[in-house]
Structure 1
Amino acid sequence: MSSQSPDDPTAGGPHDEQWEQFFRSMFGDGADEAMRQMREQGLDPRALAQSTGLGDDPRALEAMLAQVKRMFETSGDSPVNAGVAHDVARQVAVTGGDPVVVAAQARTAKDALSVAELWLDVVTDLPPAGGAPKAWSRSEWVEATLPAWGRLVAPVAASVADAMATVLGDQMGELDGGAMPEIPGMPRGMLGQLDPAGMMRKLGSAVFGMQTGQAAGTLSREVFGATDVGVPLIEENVTVLVPSNVEAFAEGLDAPLDEVRLFLALREAAHARLFAHVPWLRAHLLGLVEEYARGITIDLETLEERVRSIDISDTSALQDALKGHVFRGQNTEEQRATLLRLETTLALVEGWVDEVTATAALPHLPHAVPLREMLRRRRAAGGPAEHVFSSLVALELRPRRSRDAAALWAHITAGSGPAGRDGVWEHPDLLPDDQDLDNPAGYSERRSAVAEGSADLDRALEDILSGTVAGIDDSGESTAEPGSGDGAEDTAAGGSDDSTGDDEGGAPQDR
């Protein structure tokens, strides 16, 4: 009697069991039909493993299956696979090392943030954010901010996923397998019971999860705190420094590490105050980003050309195909207006922080001026992660006119003092626009005109509410004096109203 190998698929060996579990978890109701077709066509799961270069190593096969399974998993209907984004971001964050924040680093970071709050109290009326100062590692920064990046990318990811479903679904051809691209070790037609569009959306979600994780992980190696990206990334009102990044930035500078740390702490604390005590600002910024992203359209011709020759099972090739110019270059009029508002608001935030930080630092830090200029140039140039996000959402989160905005805030401070400068943030309608960045003096004139108009409106509303308009009191009765001829022209001319029938005593007759 012949013996069967434990890996024989007909004997239900470990490889066969692993593939069966994988297909059931990934394909759901279509798994039985797919596996039936495999067995009818004599497919050996071991051949599929060999084609991937895994050989007979069950551990390697299990790891590969787990990775592929996770790629096709998605958190509900999210266009960005949060699990994949998290794993990739953590891997990138620790590349080259992610030192644990030791007690001494945490203490100096928190002390710097506390001192920064004291200095800022002198130059701005906005109070501290209120949260305890923190010192984070790069991995901790990723954990805290990754959900916000997912929300920023999601609108564009949804559009790209739909486009991929259209393009790749067309390329997969008819569901009988005749035009299905061949995958090594897998027979044609075995995916006949599956939904190509649904698979492509899952694949697109995984690819965007990879790209989002890559960008967030790279950013974690560049940022100094929780707010210096410009867009609020955490809900909690806290101030944060990332000591390893602060120390790496200070290396090679003429300024000592203590000064660099204090200057960066000032910027972090100023950002936190602004986002904590201007309640509409966070939603305003994120809303503009999402509004712009939702209007982005995908160039289907470019996307189709890029994916025509790639293997749909090669996620790195799909990731490369989605980079760059797959977005239509021509923005709509609404998008251009949204983009202008977004860029102006980002510049105003950065300019306010720049001006307030410089004012607070000058009396205390000898290197405040060169540090300010260095941070300006660094912010204007951007970094690798910002370029990745630019390719993801066709949007650069860099303020282009932060210098102009800082000059505007300085002009407002000179004319109205710190209270007048900070009072501009009371309502979004008071914010300067791009024309005000060109002409700071024009903003003061425009705001004065708006204030006068508002005062006139307030007086009119007060008159109406107090019942002094048109001679009507709160009860609706006329408040006109006898003989005033309210509503009659002859009283102004000194004549008498013939209809009143005044008697000899001059008293009006009852009507």
Structure 2
Amino acid sequence: MVQFVDWDVAAATAGALGKSGPRVTYEEAAAAVTELRDLTDEAARHVAEYTGLTAPAAPPVRIVDRRDWASVNINGLREVVNPLAERLANGKVGNNVGTAIGSRMTGVQAGTVLAYLSGRVLGQYEVFSGDPGQLLLVAPNIVEAERKLGADPRDFRLWVCLHEVTHRTQFTAVPWLRAHFLGEVQAFVDASQLDKDQMFERVRRGVATVADATRNPDSRASVLDLVQTPAQRAVLDRLTALMTLLEGHAEFVMDGVGPEVVPSVAEIRAKFNRRRSEGNPVEKMVRRLIGIEVKMRQYAEGRRFVHKVVERVGMSAFNKIWSSPLTLPRLPELSDPDLWVARVAPVAG
């Protein structure tokens, strides 16, 4: 089968380039894992009570290290990209030497990106590798972040758990959400209007753009260069609106629950926001290229949207947003929540 990315090479590269975690004793590591498991269960109770969303079959949390996180994401990406390659090749086995070499090169580049991210991600609800998805908490990154922030460890860990458990709740309490998200990703690919060779080259250049940013901070290229057709841009608008909602909702919940159960939440939030905005020029370039800067804006814009809607119509009416894909916010509604309220949850009287 034709491969866009040599995933074995990607895994080996991510493992080789990934940074080691903070210095901890075996006892400290074991205690952190145990506490994160317990705090995940506690966070689930708080999130359900605060949001009114129930997830009867939520999968258990997985506490992972940086290498494990990269491996899980490689497996998830493999599930998405390999069927695409097979379809574009029309089921034919590819023997093109140039394609094989290119896939190994892209594997190195993908592994480089994942190694970078593996040292920064605190948690993730991963939806690609199976239904209904899996909740990951990256223990070394959480410990390293709380130390750098000078935060109370239990408060910080519960605060992180509240955010990530909210994502798990979104995808497990809303039964159609995962299929809808994956369908939009597929729609984005289908709208590319590229043949196999063009798609391979586009993927290779997109990954290379990110990997090369660490060596050339003056680069002005962006992964958004992959977006070429009007149909792709329409899908991207819908995906952007959805991700902004999901991230903003998680931010709103973690801070809404926080004051009751995380005594130092205000201090943590202030320090964490400063941490998000900081970074050397090269790191900022990489964050922009791979979409982290966009994600930061999604946190803020999405949180404002959720806050304004809940403030106006209450949590129960806000939850109409999860009724179907048709009730999700459109991109213009995120900056003008009244538009969404008027369309989906008009205020009586």
**Aligned pair partner of 1:277 in 154, 159, 173:** 173
Asked whether the equivalents of residues 259 and 365 of structure 1 are also in contact (C-alpha less than 8 Å), the reply is yes
TM-aligned CA distance change 1:258 to 1:234, over 3 Å: farther
Q: Which residue of 1 aligns with 2:243?
A: 346
Asked whether the equivalents of residues 157 and 208 of structure 1 are also in contact (C-alpha less than 8 Å), the reply is no
Q: Give the structure, 1 or 2, with the largest relative contact order (CA under 8 Å, sep 6 or more).
A: 2
Q: Which residue of 2 aligns with 1:232?
A: 127
Alignment of 1:20-419 (within 5 A): 76-93=1-18, 95=20, 102-128=29-55, 130-151=58-79, 198-227=96-125, 232-235=127-130, 237-293=133-189, 295=192, 324=221, 331-375=228-272, 387=286, 390=289, 398=295, 400-419=297-316
CA displacement 1:73-120 (0-9 Å, x = unmatched): xxx322211211121122233557897784322211112212212222
CA distance in structure 1 between the partners assigned to 2:264 and 2:22 by the alignment: 30
TM-score normalised by length of structure 1 = 0.53
| Deviation at residue 426 of structure 1 after TM alignment | 1.8
Q: Which letter does structure 1 place at the counterpart of 2:36?
A: A
Q: Which letter does structure 1 place at the counterpart of 2:16?
A: Q
Q: Which residue of 2 aligns with 1:427?
A: 324
CA distance in structure 1 between the partners assigned to 2:59 and 2:228 by the alignment: 40
- Structure 1: any 5+ residue segments left out of the alignment? 1-75, 162-195, 308-315, 452-511
Q: Which letter does structure 2 place at the counterpart of 1:144?
A: V
| Deviation at residue 245 of structure 1 after TM alignment | 0.7
Asked whether the equivalents of residues 124 and 136 of structure 2 are also in contact (C-alpha less than 8 Å), the reply is yes
CA distance in structure 1 between the partners assigned to 2:84 and 2:223 by the alignment: 11
Tell me the matched-pair count.
320
CA distance in structure 2 between the partners assigned to 1:397 and 1:211 by the alignment: 21
Mark the structure with the bigger radius of gyration: 1
| Deviation at residue 260 of structure 1 after TM alignment | 0.8
TM-aligned CA distance change 1:149 to 1:376, over 3 Å: farther
- Structure 2: any 5+ residue segments left out of the alignment? 214-218
CA distance in structure 1 between the partners assigned to 2:12 and 2:310 by the alignment: 46
CA distance in structure 2 between the partners assigned to 1:436 and 1:103 by the alignment: 45
Q: Which letter does structure 1 place at the counterpart of 2:286?
A: H
CA distance in structure 1 between the partners assigned to 2:222 and 2:338 by the alignment: 40
Identity over the aligned pairs, expressed in percent?
Answer: 25
Higher helix share: 2
SS of 2:148 mapped into structure 1: coil
CA displacement 1:112-166 (0-9 Å, x = unmatched): 21221222232012224622233212222223221223456669989xx9xxxxx
TM-score normalised by length of structure 2 = 0.75
